[in-house]
Amino acid sequence: MEKLEVLPLSYRNAQTAVPPLSAWAGGLFTSFLRQAEKEADCRVAILLCTYHGQHYLAEQLESFAAQSHTNWEVWASDDGSEDDTHSILEAYISKWGSGRLSMHFGPAEGFAANFLSLTCNASINADFYAYSDQDDVWEADKLARAVQWLQSVPAEVPALYCSRTQLVDADNNEIGVSPLFTKAPSFANALMQNIGGGNTMVFNNAARELLREAGENKSVITHDWWAYMVVTGCGGRVFYDSKPTLRYRQHGGNLVGTNADWTARFNRIRMLFQGRFKLWNDSNISALLTLQHRLTPENREILQCFAKARGMRLIPRLIHLKRSGIYRQTLLGNIGLVAAAILGKI
């Protein structure tokens, strides 16, 4: 039997060039530090819209201060408040300094127009942009989670982060969570619904440039639904985080609340029969047509197929809507979609 030669350990290590465990761990730690530093360098502009927000505004501002990602600045646009909103903002300007918070005057044309005015404001420059309502409470890692994902997307690709929310009552007591959507974000879905509340959205400069190109004078239903349609339609990426990143306060003064309970579902059915959904689609299609040169060829075809189907008779309408690929995130939602198509309310 041939005798095997046993090489000294040091010789074997030299031949195979296996780095010591300490060197491997050190390299990993260095890589982690570089990534952390890269994320920390990212400037986030928080686009905060206010209107008679005196009851909860301070708590929202304090949740900004508690963020683990500390490189942020707040651009607050007030839409004509006559309560103590201005004095609260001015107090935080004094507390934080003008480099942290600045106050501006909105167009006084509703919350969607106010958010779009901030989105298109050429004075605001950052790496990422976060929409914020006046009455929520952000979890401490909200911005950090968004920045981490956005950093993974090439800068030239439009990217939008959004998440679930923890539902709370007026006193910040937990009452549930927003629905968990499991189907992939897409333009075909965006035509039918918005999966991410604006209060959770953070987006990059490539996405913002698309929204700025579309302009602030768009007659859209909501700014967040519009952002979801634009980013997906123009070939961007959307990440829906299943982990809630903020406490979404439900109270009598909500301009827009959660759609999770049965009252909201009943209201959606009522609005469907009243033709509200059809009017929303009229507005969305009209707005999207001004950006159709930016849509991907596939998404342009989806939009054209959907728009054409709406004016057809029943059977051709159903065939073309099916061909367009539009869908909602839940079974009940898709049943409602079919009903709307049959009734000509789409």
Q: For the segment 191-206, what is each residue's pLDDT rounded down to a tens digit?
A: 999 999 999 999 999 9
Distance CA 27, CA 19 (A): 11
Residue 74: strand pairing partners: 46, 101
Average pLDDT over residues 293-322: 97
Segments making up each domain of the chain, as ranges: 37-249, 262-343
pLDDT, residue 251, reads: 77
Q: Please give the share of the chain, as a percent, with pLDDT higher than 70.
A: 83
37-249 maps to which CATH number?
A: 3.90.550.10
Pairing between strand 159-163 and 202-204? antiparallel
Quickly state the pLDDT bin for 266 (edges 50, 70, 90).
Answer: low
Quickly state the pLDDT bin for 258 (edges 50, 70, 90).
Answer: low
Q: For the segment 205-243, what is each residue's pLDDT rounded down to a tens digit?
A: 999 999 999 999 998 999 999 999 999 999 999 999 999
More confident residue, 297 or 269: 297
Q: List, edge to edge, every strand of the sheet that includes 128-132.
A: 101-105, 72-78, 44-50, 128-132, 202-204, 159-163, 237-241
Quickly state the pLDDT bin for 12 (edges 50, 70, 90).
Answer: very low
Closest by CA to 346, choosing from 328, 324, 321, 329, is 321
Tokens of 143: 């911005």
> Residue 300 pLDDT > 70, yes or no?
yes
Amino acid, single-letter form, for residue 117: S
pLDDT, residue 114, reads: 97
pLDDT, residue 10, reads: 45
Q: Which residues of 211-244 are buried (b: 16+ CB within 10 A; e: fewer)?
A: beebebebebbbbbbbbbbbbbbbbbbbbbbeeb
Tokens of 102: 């600045």
Pairing between strand 246-249 and 166-168? parallel
pLDDT, residue 2, reads: 47
Quickly state the pLDDT bin for 109 (edges 50, 70, 90).
Answer: very high
pLDDT, residue 31, reads: 52
Amino acid, single-letter form, for residue 295: L
More confident residue, 321 or 37: 321
Q: Please give the share of the chain, as a percent, with pLDDT higher than 90.
A: 79
Average pLDDT over residues 177-202: 97
| Mean pLDDT for all residues in the chain | 89
The angle, 0 to 180 degrees and rounded to 10, between the axes of the packed helices 223-233 and 297-309 is 120
Distance CA 334, CA 153 (A): 31
The answer to whether the CB of 144 falls within 8 A of the CB of 38 is: no
Tokens of 247: 């406490």
Q: For the segment 323-339, what is each residue's pLDDT rounded down to a tens digit?
A: 999 999 999 999 999 99
More confident residue, 251 or 312: 312
Closest by CA to 59, choosing from 115, 143, 138, 173, is 138
Residue 315: strand pairing partners: none
Q: For the segment 267-296, what is each residue's pLDDT rounded down to a tens digit?
A: 666 666 677 899 999 999 999 999 999 999
